[in-house]
Amino acid sequence: MRHIISILVENEAGALSRISNMFSARGYNIESLTVAPTEDASMSRMTVVSVGSDEVIEKITKQLNKLVEVVKVVDLSEAEHIERELMLIKVRAGAKEREDMKRMADIFRGRIIDVSDNTYTIELTGDGRKLDAFIHALDQGAIVETVRTGASGIGRGNRVLRV
């Protein structure tokens, strides 16, 4: 099963590789990993998406907690949560496709953020499935380039991860 794990970690050089190293050394899977500082510059928040049985995910959270620089770990998938990912996708948009492409972006609530004679760059936010759906909805030949951030997640309502 797919799990989304949030990690608060000391914003120190090497913390990221310590965490990613733990995953590879123990053979755990990483589907995506994002990291950036929080409102407190001394701390970063990381979101890791991993696929594994409940036992494996439990082992992952224990191993993460064991790392000295890790402050807190929570498996967001255990309860209600929100998940978002940003994608920038550059598509062919010559005179012929321009209208269709604009309409498609609108349907998915994407924004066109860069325009050239024959391309659009569309910004799209959503959960991973929505981004997948947009990619599949396009004519595959129309896609020039895609870049995705990987998922970020946060608990719903009063569910809070902080020190």
Partner 1 sequence: MDRIKGLELTGAEIVVRCLQEEGVDTLFGYPGGAVLHIYDALFKQDKVRHVLVRHEQGAAHAADGYSRSSHKVGVCLVTSGPGLTNAVTGIATAYMDSIPMVILSGQVATHQIGEDAFQECDSIGITRPCVKHNFLVRDVKDLAMTMKKAFHIATTGRPGPVLVDIPKDVTANKCEFQYPETVSMRSYNPVKKGHAGQIKKAVQLLLDAERPMVYTGGGVVLSNASAQLKDLLKLTGFPITNTLMGLGGYPATDEQFLGMLGMHGTYEANMAMQHCDVLLAIGARFDDRVIGNPAHFARNLRKIIHIDIDPSSISKRVKVDVPIVGSIPDVLDEFLKLLKDAKLQDAKAWWKQIGEWRGKDCLKYDRKSKIIKPQFVLEKLYEVTGGDAFVTSDVGQHQMWAAQFYKFDQPRRWINSGGLGTMGFGLPAAMGVQMANPGATVACVTGESSIQMCLQELSTCKQYRLPIKIINLNNKYMGMVRQWQEFFHGNRYSESYMDALPDFVKLAEGYGHSGLLIDKPADVEPALRETFKRKKDLVFLDFLTDQTENVYPMIPGGKGITEMILSEDL
Q: Which residues bind partner 1 (CB under 8 A)?
A: 9-10, 13-14, 17-18, 21, 25, 55, 58-59, 62-63, 65-66, 68-71, 163
Choice between 70 and 101, CB closer to partner 1: 70
Contact partners, residue 12, CB within 8 Å, separation at least 6: 69
Nearest to 149 by CA among 126, 120, 121: 126
| Residue 51 CB, nearest approach to partner 1 (Å) | 19
Cα–Cα distance, 39 to 116 (Å, whole number): 36
| Residue 52 CB, nearest approach to partner 1 (Å) | 14
Other residues' Cβ atoms within 10 Å of the Cβ of residue 140: 7
Choice between 66 and 111, CB closer to partner 1: 66
Six token digits for residue 90: 């550059």
| Residue 130 CB, nearest approach to partner 1 (Å) | 34
Choice between 54 and 145, CB closer to partner 1: 54
Cα–Cα distance, 54 to 91 (Å, whole number): 39
